[in-house]
Chains A and B, each alone.
Chain A
Amino acid sequence: MNRFDYARPATLAEAVTAGALPNAAYLASGTNLMDLMKGGVARPSLLVDIGRLPGLDRIELLEDGGARIGAMVRNADLAYHPAFARRFPAVAEALLSGASAQLRNAATTGGNLLQRTRCAYFYDTASACNKRDPGAGCDAVGGENRLHAILGFSAQCIATHPSDFCVPLTALDAVVELLGPQGPREVKLEDFHLLPGSTPERETVLEPGELITAVRLPAAAADFAAHARYVKIRERTSYAFAVVSAAACLRLQGGVVTQARIALGSVALKPWRARAAEAALCGQRADAAAFRQAAETALQDASPSGDNAFKIELARRVVVRALSLAASGTPARLPALPASAFSGEVAHA
């Protein structure tokens, strides 16, 4: 890896000043950044370690029913926070379906939002990648692209965002709190990541130096606690990124959907909110026909970006399953294999 400077600021103000320097990168737990640096994909000249900044590691359950999650809160700490998991069970389920226990113990809230795609051509510095090297081309097109995007991709980039955590967060209207040299601001998570278009190198709305300080879930997000699930299809039972995933959160009244929230993961370069499907579900009976119709609507704009047409139908079925599970109610305890199609195991959480 390249030689770099390392700074460990004591205050948020110092951090964003340092983070705005040319070619600086924030270092949280480094579960993704270190791999990128070892592979020569990321070559920052300054690492700004935010690991010891005060106040970023708090989980605040707000009185209005929402929650505020500090950017340095570890995935495992959040998932195993009992009161948080009760209010936002699909979020806990998504967190525990991600990575491995060791990674979840280290990986942070802010870092999860900012993890990079798993596209092999992005990680391989000998391949052409518009995201890594704007204008270079995209070797994923026509290459090994079985797991690539089916929504929102462009000729310049067909990668996906791999996060599990971000999927229910997007469904639940999470808000990202930012601090930059110009001061604080907020962005809806749904608007935080950018689709590739002709500028796949630009992945988020973050301005130079801007730092994620917290992620907030609004009070209304807790209203779905009784009917909130996350379903993740993965090629081995643990430690695998999603082929496709979906979060489904419902409010029901007498078997009729009064509100629905649906988001999909690993289908696009951002967590994919299916607003049209949500709207179509409202007022419908919570049954298989309505769920299938919602799934059709959610994927109506999907198309293969390569050897991945199966992901479109798979995504429909994942939406149906997530909605069905949500309708039948959030389980009292997290399943032993969170978000897995395979249940019936002894719960561990």
Chain B
Amino acid sequence: MPEITLAQGQAHIRMGSSIGQPLTRWEGVLKTTGTARFAADQHQAGMVYACLAVSSIARGRVTSLDVAAARAHPGVIEVMTPANAPALALHPDAKHHPFMFRLDLLQSDAVRFANQPIAVVIAQTLEAATEGAALLAPRYEEQPARTGLDSATPFTPPFIGAGSPGAESHGDIEAGFAAASVRIEVEYDTPAQYHNPMEPHAIVAAWDGDRLSIDTPSQGMAMAQQRIAGLFGISPENIHIRSPFLGGGFGCKGMISGPQILGIMAARLVGRPVKLVLRREQMFGPVGHRAPTRQTLHLGADADGQLTALIHHARTATSTFDDFIEPAANASHSLYASPAIRTTHDAVRIDTGTPLFMRAPGEAPGSAALESAIDEMALACGMDPLAFRLKNYADVAPMTGKPFSSKALRACYQQGGERFGWAARPTAPRQMRDANGMLVGWGMGTAVFPALMFPAQAAAVLRRDGSGVVEIGAHDMGQGAWTALAQIAADALGLDRAHLEFRSGSSDLPDAGIAGGSAHTASAGSAIHGAGADVIAKLAALAMGDEASPLFGAGNAGVIARGGRLHRRDDEARSETYGEILARAGLEEIAGRGAVAPDQAAQAAYAMQAHGAVFAEVTVDPDFGQIRVTRLVGAFAAGTVINPRMVRSQYLGGMIWGVSFALHEHAAMDKRSGRTMNANFAEYHVPVNADVPSIEAILVDEHDEHVNALGVKGVGEIGITGTVGAIANAVWHATGVRVRSFPITLEQVMGL
């Protein structure tokens, strides 16, 4: 069993507060007993089943489909192809803003990537639909697939990631290198990876005239509503999305995908509710992925080990028909103090599905390369890797010179290093062995992730019976968002958790923004905080203006809401219940709303990011090169901790993803066909429990007055950053072999 310590939980508990308590997930029992109903578990009267047929070529066109054979199969109701697909109000290749990704919705016979949907078979049973899809036996006119980072002439994208400039520069690079006495130039490769939440994309769609109801996992219901509304020419208010449970998202459920839209089209075509669930191998293509990168880092340092210049260039790939540019080099913007930093990107267009945001997009591959390069530079300077990082510690944001809103990274280094025992590390490689003669190595990496926030809204109600309701269309991907948000809601309303009804997971509720960018707690939580403050203020106004109230005239002294009562701030003994206030006012309930957006002034003034330090121990079999991560210690500072249990889980999950990135995960693509040959869980490896024998996350205290009203930074993605480099550096330390291609495999270190 992995070692999971909960020893630190108590430190975060504040008396009388729901925030800071290590509550378990509200839906834990439902999930462990199988009673939580995910989208694919939903059934509706008259519902039929749809199965995608996908392309086995990466480029060309479909010349024939044996629709007759599929239709003749018992149970098959309809075959949806470009010939009969319902007309759309908006072409799915239209792109009005960067978050509008082009979708393949049977508009033509063109094939632009392997596993592109080319037809949908709708049948009475899943089995009939699946066999119907197999019977289509497509024929193609195939063109040679363009695969890999060398298969096309690169172009320079103006924008990368979510809209950042593709090239950024600070300081005088040439002067920096001129001042350097040590220089290194190193190149790292990272592979294509595919989001594979345990729950594949699934949808149950039902039309009622122009009204559409949908069960589907979504990290962004309001955005999905807008996208669907545009495609079908209906009002967003007529689209009702239910998404109470997600079996993981990781970014691939952020924007509604083509296959989900095809489920809606299928329902329209047959006039009945339709269920469509992706097969595992269909996750490898039409729902996004992390693009491969080749990154070059050019570092200069002076004789004291102070960086003088840093260039980080990343080449990546996008599809032939749309743009998502993995912003890998931007990882070098935020961590190390260098008087000159330049980051650039270019990309090639290849025959692939469009890549997309995947947990720590840009940061994950960028950190893998940067943290490896920093390790190489520390060695070149003859310094301990931690000492080198401290020497180059950024007290202000390296690119902009802005102060940090808060930055407890030194404490992360100190607490993580101490817990790990870093001080005992020999500088030279191949110095340590375990009792069985295995090579042992220690490595570290710095973790960083921006503290983001998106616009969000929430509604709150206090009732005369002493209960309260908070409503917000928030998304629980399994990370525990609802649990943590309900804790915020309880504090915002001054109620015990038991008296709070928390409603979420539906597009009919206020827009909580997108659960992405590690920003959901900050965004949705701030909205809830605002809604609570609004309703409490209204209630307080009632009481303070009521001569019969013990709070009458509290005025500027104000009131405190706690335990279902308002107390005078200057005399807490004077208080009364919410119910008493409402009853005297003749009200059954009182409502408030919260709407938040990032504080532009604070963002202009401060650099905002979460930090961490990850320490890794690996053992390597000296004969086989087989690598095992025997110990991981991460220490992270991310502002206020709403729920230490959930936060720790997020860190651990991120760090395990780092193990996956470093040692396992990659799409094995056939370079001739452009097809992923390991599109299943037996061969697309992610770590199993036995790969993570000891893992610890330390929650480092940090107080931030600027990021948002709650002082919350995101924790969902930062665990991957730092960890990949830490493991790669530990492999070097164990073996003396520097592997610059991920994942690190045994033949790279077995010493052939």
Do A and B belong to a common assembly?
Answer: yes
Q: Are A124 and B745 in contact (CB under 8 A)?
A: no
Complex alpha-carbon distance, A238 and B689, angstroms:
8
**Cβ-based interface call for B670 (8 A):** yes
Q: Which of B157-165, B205-213, B311-319, B678-686 is the interface stretch?
A: B678-686
A259-B693 Cα distance, complex, nearest whole Å: 38
Check if B155 is an interface residue, CB within 8 A of chain A: no
Stretch in A15-23, A48-56, A149-157, A339-347 with 4+ CB within 8 Å of B: A339-347
Bound-state Cα–Cα, A342 to B436, Å: 8
Task: Write out the residue numbers on chain A whose beta carbons fall within 8 Å of the beta carbon of B3.
Answer: none
Q: Which B residues are CB-close (under 8 A) to A10?
A: none
Q: Select B678's contact among A38, A120, A345, beta carbons within 8 Å.
A: A120
Given A124-B677, A310-B752, A236-B134 contact (CB < 8 Å): no
A40 vs B57: C-alpha distance when bound (angstroms): 18
Known A118-B683, A344-B435: A236·B747 in contact at CB below 8 Å: no
Question: How far apart sit A310 and B127, CA to CA, in the bound complex (Å)?
Answer: 43
Of residues 325 through 349 on chain A, the ones whose CB sits less than 8 Å from some CB of chain B are 337, 341-345
Task: Report A122-133 CB contacts with B as 1/0, cut-off 8 Å.
Answer: 011011000000
> CB of B65 within 8 A of chain A?
no
Q: Which of A3, A236, A310 has the most CB of B within 10 A?
A: A236
* 0/1 interface trace, chain B 610-629, chain A, CB 8 Å (1 if under): 00000000010101101010
B590 contacts A by Cβ under 8 Å: no
CB A335 to nearest CB in B, in angstroms, measures 11
Does A171 count as interface, using CB distance less than 8 angstroms? no
Confirm or deny: B56 has a beta carbon within 8 angstroms of a beta carbon on chain A: yes
Chain A residue numbers with a CB within 8 Å of B691 are 236-238
B127 touches A317 (CB 8 A): no
- Tell me which residues across on chain B come within 8 A of A239, comparing CB atoms: 682, 688
Identify B745's interface contact among A235, A238, A321, CB under 8 A: A235
A236–B672 Cα distance when bound, in Å, is: 28
Question: Is the pair A314, B750 in contact by a Cβ cutoff of 8 Å?
Answer: yes
Interface residue from B130, B434, B670 paired with A344 (Cβ < 8 Å): B434
B685→A120 contact, CB < 8 A = no
Main secondary structure of the interface of A (DSSP, over half): loop
CB of B683 within 8 A of CB of A120, answer: yes
Q: Which of A143, A236, A240, A343 contacts B670 (CB 8 A)?
A: A143
A240–B664 CA distance with the chains assembled, in angstroms:
11
Known: A1-B131, A243-B746. A124 touches B675 (CB 8 A): yes
Q: Please determine whether A118 and B682 come into contact, CB atoms closer than 8 angstroms.
A: yes
**A79 at interface (Cβ–Cβ under 8 A)?**
no
Question: Would you call B672 and A342 a contact (CB within 8 A)?
Answer: no
Chain B residue contacts of A344, Cβ below 8 A: 434-436
List A198-255 residues whose CB lies under 8 Å from chain B.
233-241, 243
Q: Does B687 contact A (CB under 8 A)?
A: yes
Chain B residues near A310 (CB-CB < 8 A) = 746-747, 750, 752
Cβ–Cβ contact B747 & A342, under 8 A: no
* Complex contacts, A237 vs chain B, CB 8 Å: 628, 688, 690-691
The A-contacting residues of B in range 392-446, CB under 8 angstroms, are 434-436, 438
B668 close to chain A: CB less than 8 A: yes
Separation of A38 and B623 alpha carbons in the complex (Å):
39
Residue-wise, chain B 677-711 has the 8 Å CB interface mask toward A (1 for contact) of 11010110101111101000000000000000000
A124 — which chain B residues lie within 8 A by C-beta? 675, 677
Shortest C-beta distance, B280 to chain A (Å), equals 10
CB atoms of A341 and B624 under 8 A apart: yes
Q: Which residues of A contact B621 (CB under 8 A)?
A: 341-342
Contact B624 A314, beta carbon cutoff 8 Å = yes
B325 to A: closest C-beta gap in Å:
27
In-complex Cβ contact of B690 among A120, A317, A337 (8 A): A337
Instruction: Determine whether the beta carbon of A139 is less than 8 Å from that of B670.
Output: yes
CB-CB under 8 A from B673, the residues of chain A are 127, 139
Measured between beta carbons, the chain B residues less than 8 angstroms from A243 are 746
> What is the total of A-B residue contacts with beta carbons within 8 Å?
99
Residue of B nearest to A234 (CB): B626
Is A142 engaged at the interface, CB distance under 8 Å to the other chain? yes
Is B624 a contact partner of A318 (Cβ separation < 8 A)? yes
Interface size range of chain A in the complex: 35 or more
A143 with B130, Cβ < 8 A, contacts A236-B691, A313-B752, A318-B624 known: no
Bound Cα distance A32, B435 (Å): 39
Residues of chain B within 8 A (CB-CB) of A313 are 750, 752
B-side contacts of A1, CB under 8 Å: 127, 130-131, 134
User: Chain B contacts of A345 at CB under 8 A?
Assistant: 693
CA of A320 to CA of B621, assembled, Å: 14
Contact (Cβ within 8 A) B436 A233: no
Within 8 A of A (CB), among B541-591: none
Interface membership of chain B positions 652-682, coded 1 if the CB is closer than 8 angstroms to chain A and 0 otherwise: 0000000000011000111011010110101
A121 within 8 A of B: yes
Most chain B CB atoms below 10 A, which of A239, A241, A341: A341
A2 at interface, CB cutoff 8 A: yes
Q: Does A144 lie at the interface of the complex (its beta carbon under 8 Å from any beta carbon of B)? A: yes
- Contact, CB under 8 Å: A342 / B624: no
Shortest beta-carbon distance, B144 to chain A, in Å?
Answer: 15
| A235 and B627 alpha carbons, distance in the complex (Å) | 8
Q: Collect the chain A residues with CB atoms within 8 Å of residue B672's CB.
A: 142-143
Render B126-164 as a binary contact track against A, CB cut-off 8 A, 1 for contact.
010011001000000000000000000000000000000
Give complex CA distance A123, B670 in Å.
14
Interface residues of B in 707-752 (CB under 8 A from A): 745-747, 750, 752
List the A side residues contacting B628 at CB < 8 Å: 237, 342
Residue of A nearest to B689 (CB): A238
A124 to B691, CA, bound (A): 29
The chain A residue with its CB closest to the CB of B279 is A38
* Alpha-carbon separation in the docked complex, A337 to B691 (Å): 11
Q: How far is the CA of A315 from the CA of B680 in the complex (A)?
A: 26
Residues of chain B within 8 A of A2, CB atoms compared: 131, 134
Does A3 lie within 8 Å of B131, measured CB to CB? yes
A235 to chain B: which residues have CB within 8 Å?
Answer: 664, 685, 745-746
Q: Is the CB of A238 within 8 A of B690?
A: yes
Report whether A233 and B619 are in contact in the complex, using a CB–CB cutoff of 8 Å. no
- Complex Cα distance, B57 from A113, in Å, reads 34
The answer to whether B752 touches A317 (Cβ under 8 A) is: no
List the interface of chain B (C-beta within 8 A of A).
56-57, 74, 127, 130-131, 134, 434-436, 438, 619, 621, 623-624, 626, 628, 663-664, 668-670, 672-673, 675, 677-678, 680, 682-683, 685, 687-691, 693, 745-747, 750, 752
A120-B678, A123-B680, A126-B675 given; 14 more Cβ-contact pairs under 8 Å = A118-B683, A127-B673, A143-B672, A143-B677, A144-B669, A144-B670, A235-B685, A236-B688, A237-B628, A237-B691, A239-B682, A243-B746, A314-B624, A341-B621
Q: Which 9 A-B pairs have the closest CB atoms?
A: A126-B56, A237-B690, A310-B747, A120-B677, A341-B621, A317-B623, A144-B677, A238-B690, A144-B668
22 contacting pairs across A/B (C-beta < 8 A): A2-B134, A3-B74, A38-B130, A100-B688, A124-B677, A139-B670, A142-B672, A144-B678, A233-B626, A233-B746, A235-B746, A236-B663, A236-B664, A236-B687, A236-B688, A237-B628, A241-B682, A313-B750, A317-B750, A337-B690, A342-B628, A344-B436
